[in-house]
Chain A
């Protein structure tokens, strides 16, 4: 069964304190791994798509990496505005367009 597990469930950082969020997955044929950011009361906002092991993508203070079993979202020198829930999702070749989401990591960055 395709599955996504994110850790930690919650992460509290001081402004400027770099860290990483983990997304472990099991899927029968990875078509793509997606990272989204979700602010309270809003819909998920697309951040990155990774397609193959070894791939990396960056956007401002965020960098996403992918291996055959997991993905990391690295946050460098975070700011309070980076506070949000970060969701990881996988798409499998045999599942059409279906995304399977993890439970998310709630990030809080204090000034």
Chain B
């Protein structure tokens, strides 16, 4: 089975440019999570969706960040305009509320997108 798929795997851009990260969750999973990982702050949740609806976006740093999930098999995280401090690894993860007990979902992570903003 294919795991979580993310693209691009690496992105180098200049400050002020728009960046779009893409994620395809595991087929059949109904929850999708966007995380950011830095040396200083570790892994932090940015936003998560359940059944394509945003549930918690309290981790989104500011208005420059936006995320969408138009259908169950695709999500995007957009940064506009990008800044050097946005440089990090961005992970997408997915889970199913149908696995195990009703409240105990295991999140499976993609390989990440390494973003460098110059």
**Interface of A with B (CB < 8 Å)?**
31-32, 34, 36, 42-46, 49, 51, 87, 89, 93, 95-104
One of A32, A87, A97 near B50 (C-beta < 8 A): A97
Q: Mark B97-112, 1 if CB is under 8 A from A, else 0.
A: 0001001111111111
- In contact, B56 and A43 (Cβ under 8 angstroms): no
- Shortest Cβ gap from A47 to chain B (Å): 10
- In contact, A44 and B109 (Cβ under 8 angstroms): yes
One of B50, B107, B112 near A99 (C-beta < 8 A): B107
List the 6 closest A-B pairs by CB distance, nearest first. Answer: A43-B109, A101-B43, A44-B109, A103-B42, A43-B111, A43-B112
In the complex, what distance in Å separates the CA atom of A99 from the CA atom of B104? Answer: 11
- In contact, B107 and A97 (Cβ under 8 angstroms): yes
**Interface of B with A (CB < 8 Å)?**
4, 31, 33, 42-45, 48, 50, 55-56, 91, 93, 95, 100, 103-112
- In contact, A49 and B104 (Cβ under 8 angstroms): yes
In the complex, what distance in Å separates the CA atom of A103 from the CA atom of B44? Answer: 10
Question: Which residues from chain A contact B100 at a C-beta distance below 8 Å?
Answer: 49
- In contact, A43 and B110 (Cβ under 8 angstroms): yes
Other than A43-B110, A93-B103, A99-B43, give 17 A-B pairs with Cβ distance below 8 A.
Answer: A31-B103, A34-B107, A36-B109, A44-B91, A44-B109, A45-B109, A49-B106, A51-B104, A96-B50, A96-B55, A96-B56, A98-B45, A98-B48, A99-B107, A101-B43, A103-B42, A104-B42
Given A43-B111, A96-B55, do A101 and B106 touch, yes or no (CB 8 Å)?
A: no
Given A43-B91, A96-B56, do A101 and B42 touch, yes or no (CB 8 Å)?
A: yes
- Shortest Cβ gap from B114 to chain A (Å): 8
In the complex, what distance in Å separates the CA atom of A98 from the CA atom of B107? Answer: 10
Most buried by B among A31, A32, A44, A95: A44
- In contact, A97 and B42 (Cβ under 8 angstroms): no
- In contact, A34 and B42 (Cβ under 8 angstroms): no
